[in-house]
Amino acid sequence: MKKLHRRSANIHEQCSSRHVLPRRQETAAHPVCFFHSISRGNNAMADARVRPSKTEQFAGLTLSACLGLSLLIPFIPGTAFAQQPYSSSPSHNVQERSMNISMIADDKVVTFHLEDSATTRDFVAMLPLELTLEDYAATEKIGTLPRKLDVSGAAAGSTPVEGDIAYYAPWGNLAIYHKGFEYSPGLVRLGRIESGMETIRKPGAVAVRFEVAKD
């Protein structure tokens, strides 16, 4: 019985050694393959994150090209967005000026609003000015000025209407119209009457004084 028991124990030990050892070898080999596969998977995922696709690369190049072109456009002559040099010409920075003047006749005051022109500025430079106005052609009162006025930039002529004050360059006189008249070459319009037309309509010569209107 003792021999039989020992033999059974030996057989059991041999069987155990035959089955356990291969199982341990298999389990020892598996972790290496498992972690190797994990490592390869992680590397593939990392490459996918680091390496952009061809579409992303093309989009990046297109965006860079657009940004570069947008920076160059302001400096390309002839483009809609090309920068224009600053202009300090008077036509852009100086507003048109106008002026009111008064004409005093006895105890009456006639006011005029003058347009801005070389001729009106030259006329205002004469003020204060005393003149004698006389009737002419039943349409206007005229008075001879001390000198001729600057007519540079003036039109070749004008068609006066009631209330106009003008300068007639051929004769060098001032004209104030209480009636309209036909086109007159050499007539330069200065402005219009604001108030006091009844004084201009009154017939007969009248001594007057022109001066800059007081505010």
Full pLDDT tens readout for the chain, 215 residues = 444 445 544 544 544 444 444 443 444 444 444 444 444 555 544 444 445 555 555 555 555 555 555 555 545 544 433 344 333 333 333 344 669 999 999 899 999 999 999 999 999 999 999 999 999 999 999 999 999 999 999 999 999 999 999 999 999 999 999 999 999 999 999 999 999 999 999 999 999 999 999 86
Residue 66: the pLDDT is: 52
Closest CA to 65 of 77, 73, 75: 73
| Strand runs labelled E in 32-160 | 99-105, 108-114, 129-136, 140-144, 157-158
CATH level 3 topology of 99-212: Cyclophilin (2.40.100)
Residue 67: the pLDDT is: 54
Angstrom distance (rounded) from CA 11 to CA 93 = 117
Residue 97: the pLDDT is: 60
Rounded to an integer, what is the distance from CA 121 to the centroid of its chain? 32
Closest CA to 145 of 129, 161, 162: 129
Angstrom distance (rounded) from CA 83 to CA 133 = 57
Question: Which letter does DSSP use for residue 80 in this model?
Answer: T
CA distances from 182 to 91, 111, 157, 162, 171 (A): 33, 24, 10, 12, 17
Sketch the domain layout of the chain as residue ranges: 2-75, 99-212
Residue 64: the pLDDT is: 56
Angstrom distance (rounded) from CA 201 to CA 8 = 156
Predicted TM-score (pTM) of this structure: 0.56
